[in-house]
Structure 1
Amino acid sequence: MPDGTPPRVTRTLTSPRALQAAGLLPAAALPGAEAVAARYSIAVTPAVAALIDPADPADPIARQYIPDAAELLTAPHELDDPTADGPFTPVKGVVHRYPDRALLKPLLACPVYCRFCFRREAVGPDGGLLTEPELEAALDWFAATPAVREAILTGGDPLMLSPRRLAAMLGRLAALPQIEILRIHSRVPVAAPGLVTPALAAALETAKPLYLCVHANHAREFTAEAAGALARLARAGVVLLGQSVLLRGVNDSAEALEALFRAMLRARVKPYYLHQLDPAPGTARFAVPVEEGRALLRALRGRVTGLAWPTYVQERPAGGGKVPLGPEWDAKAG
């Protein structure tokens, strides 16, 4: 535009050239981004695009979503399947790593595609939507596995499903006598809050307790629109939890984490997990050493209410599940 102001984004941007046209990708970065797009999916919603400051080369929102040529560099410690979903998949769409809970992945599409995602080899606009027979087989597996008390819908982003399909899925799971808790992991309330319609909120009104884990990594993601979407979900009886990934250049300071956790609480979201980065290919630029993460949390102790305190966790190798990382405290210290 003549005054240098980037054009207003009105639809999801899914290619490097669309990002460049919107003023979100420098021309010099286009060849590298095109190479990344040949391997990994790209999507930046209007809500996310509006948060990015194109004049700031270190913008923490852009860093999460704008492709970078560094994604094509695989470090020696990085793994194709860092959470080892494969060995724990009894039927397509199900991951059963813990005795009492299991994941259901009904689709692999997301409103946005994070540049650090541990499933980014699999997710994309094609959606990976389970067919009706595949979904039936997955639901039959839950019905036949009485040890599983918690069903966790993830993906992909389950809130990308139609309200009708989502309500039917949750209803089937809630009707199983052994299922006590339902959980959904989603970026939708912050990345595409307009999708949280009254119909979607109504679809989440279930006979069993339902917890929604909202993935957000920076305080700016909690806009007025996101807060409105989350309030709508809270009114439907959904318990809101927050999960974040500790990311270099996004939230790797005590100030950034404090702002993030306070923003969550203001939006009715209880900080639940702070994840150590999973070593997916091409994500080394986001890595923060564990000891640095522990030091950041120590710096927050006493600065924020206990309500703002998440559990700092890391996935063990070979699908061993999450372990808490601390920090450790000396109860006798003054």
Structure 2
Amino acid sequence: MDNRKLALERAQELKENINDYLEAQKNIETGFKMADRSAANKNKLLNFYNASEDDWNSWTWQMKNRISDVDTLKAFLNLSEDEAKELRDLSNQYRWAISPYYFSLIDFDNYRDSTIFKQAVPDIREASDDGEDDPMSESTTSPAPRITRRYPDRLIINVSNQCPMYCRHCQRRRNFGETDEHATMDQLKEAINYVKANPEIRDVLITGGDSLMLSNKVLDWLLGEVNDIEHVEIKRLGTRALVTLPQRINEELCEIIAKYPPIYISSQFNSPMEITPETQKATDMLIKAGAVLGNQAVLLKDINDDPHVMKKLNHELLKVRIRPYYIFHAKTVKGTSHFITKIETGINIMEHLRGYTSGLAIPTYIVNAPGGYGKTPLLPEYMVSTSEDDITIRTWEKRVLQYPNKTY
């Protein structure tokens, strides 16, 4: 058989490997595919608030008009009386708030199936959950105010409990509180002094809450202080504003980011519906300012626990120049157990990524070790056995092959 015929047969075999995804993706909603529906929802919200396009594009307007009451939800969603009562009861126990922008991404007519609604609006199952307040043991890995340290050469500075939206699966739900509070300047100075006193720290992640909820003035000062520490090589910003409040990415913010390279921005997109034309505008601005963008998705039941949905999410991320970095297994945080999947679900997703799509679209699947002992990568088993002269490997197609394991 000639080589061309062999190649054509192999190409046909490869095409058959992706047919199920090509069929499934037709029914996967994305922010770009559903842009017209979201725009119609936006107009309904603007009419409700008697607001303008300029208001909508203002991140401070979005923050002032976050939705956090049942009556406003009912103005757009056909909540049943039972649902409304449950939400009112839950509102007395758990804080919640949704930016108008993120709310506009919900399918108002089919909100119960919306991945946006499920991440944003409290669920009655939150009230009967016996998870942990602090499964990552952040309280016992904080050697200085606002510092979390779990690794030799890097640490977190937690600057705020404020977010554009209080995600129902958040690992720091215990910090929501009743009001938005930023770190005090004294606390931030103590955190900076800790970094200065420990020359092995080369990587500083500024997060919260959401790091971009700081004012531009404070963020400029803080990045400048960290940038001036000689042994710090990398500054990172942890934010979900790209997802829930892309209006926060404006010219003044980008001017600040451009001053202190290299800055890496870690986002958290969990659904293809979250990647919108507004997202692309924000990422274009950040990239022009020199930022490097990555995504840390959380594996969530009924949100993205399907191999085709996760693949589509990663493809949509790459299209707006965000590199898929991690998939986190959901943590056992009190109030979030209805989001938690089996570990096997994550492994199965990884099985359906490796080989089936480009390496750029394959993040690392991570479980956070109990007790604050850090990120642990989990992978399907590709090495079957070893011997003195060779190893047995399993390919992404489950072909079992021998590979030489010796020096020459």
CA offset at residue 125 of structure 1?
Answer: 6.5
Contact 1:79–1:280, Cα closer than 8 Å, also in 2:
yes
The unaligned stretches of length 5 or more in structure 2 are 1-39, 50-64, 384-391, 400-408
Contact 2:223–2:260, Cα closer than 8 Å, also in 1:
no
Match of 1:315 in 2: 368
Contact 1:248–1:288, Cα closer than 8 Å, also in 2:
yes
Please say if 1:13 is aligned against 2:67: yes
Match of 2:323 in 1: 270
Change over 3 Å in CA distance of 1:173–1:248 after alignment to 2: same
Give the 5 Å matches for 1:252-291: 252-291=305-344
Structure 2 counterpart of 1:35, which letter? Answer: D
Please say if 1:181 is aligned against 2:218: no
Contact 2:135–2:333, Cα closer than 8 Å, also in 1:
yes
Give the 5 Å matches for 1:59-98: 59-75=114-130, 78-98=131-151
Q: Which has the higher helix share?
A: 2
- CA–CA distance in 2 between the matches of 1:50 and 1:117? 21
Kindly provide the CA deviation profile for residues 240-279 of structure 1, in whole angstroms up to 9, marking residues without a partner as x. 0011000011001111101100010001000001000010
Contact 1:248–1:287, Cα closer than 8 Å, also in 2:
yes
Please say if 1:332 is aligned against 2:393: yes
The unaligned stretches of length 5 or more in structure 1 are none
Equivalent position to 1:210, from 243, 263, 269: 263
Give the 5 Å matches for 1:142-181: 142-181=195-234
Structure 1 counterpart of 2:118, which letter? Answer: R
Contact 1:186–1:213, Cα closer than 8 Å, also in 2:
yes
Match of 2:88 in 1: 34
Match of 2:102 in 1: 48
Percent of pairs with identical residues: 31
- CA–CA distance in 2 between the matches of 1:134 and 1:66? 32
CA offset at residue 301 of structure 1?
Answer: 2.2
Change over 3 Å in CA distance of 1:25–1:318 after alignment to 2: farther
CA offset at residue 17 of structure 1?
Answer: 2.8
Match of 1:195 in 2: 248
- CA–CA distance in 1 between the matches of 2:291 and 2:231? 20
Kindly provide the CA deviation profile for residues 192-223 of structure 1, in whole angstroms up to 9, marking residues without a partner as x. 11111010111112444111011110011110
Structure 1 counterpart of 2:263, which letter? Answer: L
- Secondary structure of 1:32's aligned partner: helix
Equivalent pairs counted in the alignment come to 328
- Dislocated runs of 4+, deviation >3 Å: 24-27
- Secondary structure of 2:318's aligned partner: helix
- Secondary structure of 1:130's aligned partner: coil
Give the 5 Å matches for 1:115-126: 115-124=168-177, 126=179
From the CA coordinates, give the structure whose radius of gyration is larger: 2
CA offset at residue 24 of structure 1?
Answer: 7.0
- CA–CA distance in 1 between the matches of 2:245 and 2:68? 14
The RMSD of aligned alpha carbons is 1.7
- Secondary structure of 1:288's aligned partner: coil
Contact 2:95–2:177, Cα closer than 8 Å, also in 1:
yes
Contact 2:182–2:214, Cα closer than 8 Å, also in 1:
no
Change over 3 Å in CA distance of 1:18–1:124 after alignment to 2: farther
Contact 2:133–2:173, Cα closer than 8 Å, also in 1:
no
